[in-house]
Chains A and B, each alone.
Chain A
Amino acid sequence: MPQTPWFRLSKFKLSGARLFVAKLLVWAVCLAPFLRLAWRIWHNDVTPNPIEFITHFTGDWTIRLIVATLAITPLRKLLQAPDLIRFRRLIGLFAFFYACLHFATYLWLDHGFDMPAIVKDVAKRPYVTAGFTAFVLMIPLAITSTTGWIRRLGGKRWQRLHRLIYVTAIAAVIHYYWLVKSDIRLPLLYGTLVALELGYRLVMRKPATARR
């Protein structure tokens, strides 16, 4: 008999009050960075270059949460905790929330809605193009994240559409990698995590394709 893992997540069935509390916790964890950012802006504690600070802050949390949503599927299997699925939409939408803040910072704080300059920037700067791609691909996923849309599209088609998050994750890592000047450790860390997460899916997919 396989050893019971110490975390015993498989025994941790989430329903009713437990699910409510767990979701509340995830909400709190995902919202905490935003509250911290708001607090720092309120207290003018945003470094001498607030735009850069807010841009990096919101960007950091976007990529962290993208990595977190992609971790749900492998973790469900590895920890034998299928109920983790209940947090995926929440975390994914929070990733989109921080991506929106990140994009708004760029549009409004940084460029003051100077559309011609922005269009030029997106087209000309590869790292901006990559970031913009990552963001735009998240929009349909956020829109179709509701249960109604899952029903309307049908599970298979919905799932296929939502594989766009893989492209978003890769584009986000490239965006980060291309913008740092010399210290590439963090982009490499996120890149490795995304590679592991996507690699896991690829490996687990193989038997299914063979059977077909």
Chain B
Amino acid sequence: MLIEKAADLRHSDVTPKSVYLHRRQFLAAIPAAFVAGREMLSPSARALAAETKIPNIVKSPLSTTGETVNTYEDVTHYNNYYEFGTRKNQPATLAQKLKTSPWTVSIEGEVEKPLKLSMDDIMKIAPIEERIYRHRCVEAWSIVVPWAGYSLSELLKKVSPTPKAKFVAFESLYDPKVMWSPQEAGIQLPYVEGLRLDEAMHPLALLCVGMYGETLPPQDGAPVRMVIPWKYGFKSIKSIVKIKLVTKQPPTTWNISNAPEYGFYSNVNPQVDHPRWSQATEQRLGEGQKRLGIVVPARRPTLMFNGYGDQVASLYTGMDLKKYY
């Protein structure tokens, strides 16, 4: 099966990490120094660093089947992480400055038992599963990624939300020492996102700590992020430091930046176009015809709820999805 192949043949089997980081000359200086520096860290410090193997990952029945997983190179060199640059190739270099250890996630608000968790705590809350999901960006491209993590509901159950809790508000790290300013990024920082509580409790809503069998690389949102496969990618907030249960719909970054274009729900929906482009089709990176000797992504139809309608459509029964885009 495809999944097996993806898990068995790792990028590191083909290309040593230092080599692919050096592939482009302009990347040479910073990551070279970084890689060299990390190799010299003590073994214990290295265990906490990004991109180390996660032991005992179990395959999840919630994985999407019948899709070809994208290459690690694609997923780590094409990122929207505006705190580390607004061009897709920038986070691969600039996010290397992100310090992911020590890390604390605070779960607070309308809960019986607020918690402050280290990454070690988070790794132990539930078995880490491999979940292959389609990932559809609002910009009309998509990828397929083998994430690692567990349902957010496992964590939320631990803190016992009060009956007043109706929404979940997430907040990313904002470290102005290593990140772009809000003026440079063009969005308000820290990055904030939110879900309705029933969305957050849905088993597909993944609290993600890794991908391709390893802990997350910084440009993909290390050390812990959300992955909500039926929503546009920007809903899947990266590098989370705070999860707060709240009574009212929380503000969300892209909605603050441009409300007519980015709604609170932002469910993948081929019938509701972005004001500036169509959402009816998407370009799957790494797949398509060869033109000029390079693989040019062909357009494929976008699926309602990104193809997860069977599982999640019931969350939205009776709602006008054109109004609640």
Interface residues of A, Cβ cutoff 8 Å to B: 41-42, 44-52, 108-109, 111-112, 121, 124-127, 178-179, 181-185
Contact = CB atoms under 8 A, between A and B. Distances in A.
B278 A121 contact: yes
Cβ-closest 5 pairs across A and B = A182-B186, A183-B86, A48-B74, A48-B78, A183-B186
Nearest to A183: B86
A109 B296 contact: yes
Contact of A48 (B73, B257, B258, B277): B73
Nearest to A186: B86
How many chain B residues sit at the interface, stated as a range, is 35 or more
Given A121-B278, A126-B276, A178-B276, A44 B186 contact: no
B295 A49 contact: no
B86 A48 contact: no
B286 interface: yes
Interface string B156-181: 00000000000000000000000000
Interface in B279-321: 283, 285-286, 291-299
B296 A47 contact: no
B113 interface: no
Interface in B16-30: 23-24
A131 to B, nearest CB: 12
A127 B274 CA distance: 13
Contacts of A52: 88, 141
A112 B289 CA distance: 10
A18 to B, nearest CB: 35
A125 B74 CA distance: 29
B11 interface: no
A45 B293 CA distance: 11
Interface in B169-203: 184-187
Contacts of B187: 182
Given A50-B297, A181-B186, 15 more contacts: A44-B294, A45-B23, A48-B70, A48-B74, A48-B285, A48-B286, A49-B141, A50-B296, A51-B296, A111-B299, A126-B276, A178-B276, A181-B139, A182-B86, A183-B186
A155 B318 CA distance: 67
B276 A51 contact: no
B77 interface: yes
A109 B70 CA distance: 21
Contacts of A178: 276
Contacts of B143: 48
A47 B257 contact: no
A152 B296 CA distance: 44
A44 B299 CA distance: 20
